[in-house]
Structure formats: structure tokens, C-alpha cells
Amino acid sequence: MQRTKRQAAYVTIYLNLPNGGSFGPEDLALIDTIRIERSIIGASRALGLSYRKCWLTVDALNRTFESPVVATFPGRRGGGAEITQFGERLVALYRSIERHAAHSAKKSVEEITASLDWSFDPKARVAAAARDSA
């Protein structure tokens, strides 16, 4: 099966922090969605994730750093969440790391991309693995 549109490869950054915490694209997506929705429950709906998963992620982010990433305001009326000044700085630093990594890796990623077998079907690989394990 020949794909008609070839997408560019990209670099994804996951920060594994020395205190056991982490920060990656899923965390960034949650923060960006909380910024838009102004609530954790709104972000969970927008992202199609459970409220519990989103709340636990926010709690982990807030405990990972000395300063909170997301400020929450409980209550049915007037409740919500917002990204703190530190949270905004964290996002800016992460995006800076992404840009630098993508720029640094550009030639290597292009070389890897040039050597791809475009007939590869990842779904067939998963089906074969499932068949072989049965």
C-alpha cells in the first residue's frame, strides 16, 4: 500500500526529571487545554480523557515543582483553573527545548526519513504480533 501523502518525521521530547517527575507532550496538551477551557473538567471533556486522569496529572505536575503549574479554584460557581506564571514559564522552556532539539536533529531526521520503506504498514505488524503470540 503506497501512501499518497508523506508526513515529516518529528522529534518528541519527554523530560524525565531527577526527582522522579516527568513532563511531556501529554502534559503540555493538558496545560494548553486548561488555559482555553479554564477548568480541569472542561479540559478533560475537550481532550476526551477522564476527569480523574486530568486531575491526577495536574496534581502530579503541581507536586513535581516547587511552584504550582496550575492554580485551581474549587466550587460549582466561580470554580475553575488557570495556568500560573510558573506554568507559563515551564511551557515556554519546554517549547524552547523542542525547537532546539528539532533544529539540531533536522539533518539526521531527514536522513532517517529518506531511508524509510513507505510500504510499511504498522497495523500489519500489530496483527502479526498478535497472531504469533496466540
pLDDT of residue 133: 72
pLDDT digits (tens, 9 = 90+) for 48-98: 999 999 999 999 999 999 999 999 988 766 679 999 999 999 999 999 999
User: What residues contact 98, with CB distance under 8 A and at least 6 apart?
Assistant: 11, 13
For 16, the 3-state DSSP assignment is: strand
Q: Is residue 18 over pLDDT 90?
A: yes
Residue 80, phi then psi, degrees to nearest 5: 155, -165
Q: Which of 65, 6, 73, 63 has the alpha carbon at shortest distance from 39? A: 73
The whole-angstrom separation of Cα 9 and Cα 92 is 23
Task: Quickly count: other Cβ atoms within 10 Å of residue 44's Cβ.
Answer: 21
Mean pLDDT of 95-107: 96
pLDDT of residue 79: 74
Share of the chain above pLDDT 90, in %: 74
Tell me the CA end-to-end span of the chain in Å, nearest whole number: 26
In this structure, the strands spanning 22-23 and 80-83 are unpaired
pLDDT of residue 1: 42
